[in-house]
A and B are shown apart, each in its own frame.
Chain A
């Protein structure tokens, strides 16, 4: 028995089975939506690990375990999608812990959150003063969502009656020195246009460009391979191997 070879084959089986099951279970599994999903992920991972390296037993029973866990996870997901009552029980529901600026002590106690936990979660949201908070909700994934009081909300162009053109999402035109014709056509631009733009930035050939992106509003970003930066800012504060 060639143990190395057997482990190699079992690794391939476990890896791709896990990948397929994770895909079937959906993105929830990856974003750790709830504690249950988190535990599910750990267990499935652990079964896959045993399937790979525990040569004292056959691969098949481990695979059945892996399949059963993935299947139950999938069934749970379907149930919570189709049946809201069950969803409330399994996934929980968002809980309001600050309402109109007032802390809901009972809700906090029920959720087993300390005030210091809430303060920490608020600081994560860049809020250091409780009086700025109008509403705070603990989501089912344990994250805090905060609605600030109107007077503490940042000023927006709409408040000032300023009209702003939409910027849109930037599209890659050149990547790694290669022109992406498809994206160029999508934005109704030609190769001549991009060459003219590059010339304006003293670039003679597309191969000099690492990345060029364009937004629908016409903002072009170009990054060359040669950056010509003489003094590079070092943000490291401690000497290390690099």
Chain B
């Protein structure tokens, strides 16, 4: 019993903490149907490429919704700066789509992907 208290509990606690802190790279990956960030970015890229601005706007909404789900899962293991930077990127992307600015939309999409990639690293 003493051994359990002195050795097992601290080890299990530390392992649990380490799992929480390192869970970012696992939880940022898609676990359901509508939380695939790289795929969402890819779909928007295609729409921007073909100048389908309406579709791009809808897909940006989907990206934002997927991102909201991901943030809930990764908030304990990721840095706030990357999360905020992704939010800013999607906001600018919306602006670029509204202005129908192809190059700005590409820049923002590529930056958003980089922020997603940097999460938990």
Contact = CB atoms under 8 A, between A and B. Distances in A.
Interface stretch (A4-12, A154-162, A199-207): A4-12
The bracket for how many chain A residues form the interface is 20 to 34
Interface string A1-30: 111011001100100110010011000000
Contacts of A13: 17, 20-21
Interface string A38-75: 00000000000000000111111001000000000000
Interface string B1-42: 000000000100110011011101000000000000000000
A16 B79 CA distance: 21
Interface of A: 1-3, 5-6, 9-10, 13, 16-17, 20, 23-24, 55-60, 63
Given A1-B75, A58-B79, 14 more contacts: A1-B80, A2-B75, A6-B76, A13-B17, A13-B20, A16-B13, A17-B14, A17-B17, A20-B13, A55-B80, A56-B80, A57-B81, A58-B77, A59-B20
24 contacts: A1-B71, A1-B80, A1-B83, A6-B76, A6-B80, A9-B76, A13-B17, A16-B13, A16-B17, A17-B14, A20-B10, A20-B14, A23-B10, A56-B79, A56-B81, A57-B81, A58-B21, A58-B24, A58-B79, A58-B120, A59-B21, A59-B76, A60-B22, A60-B77
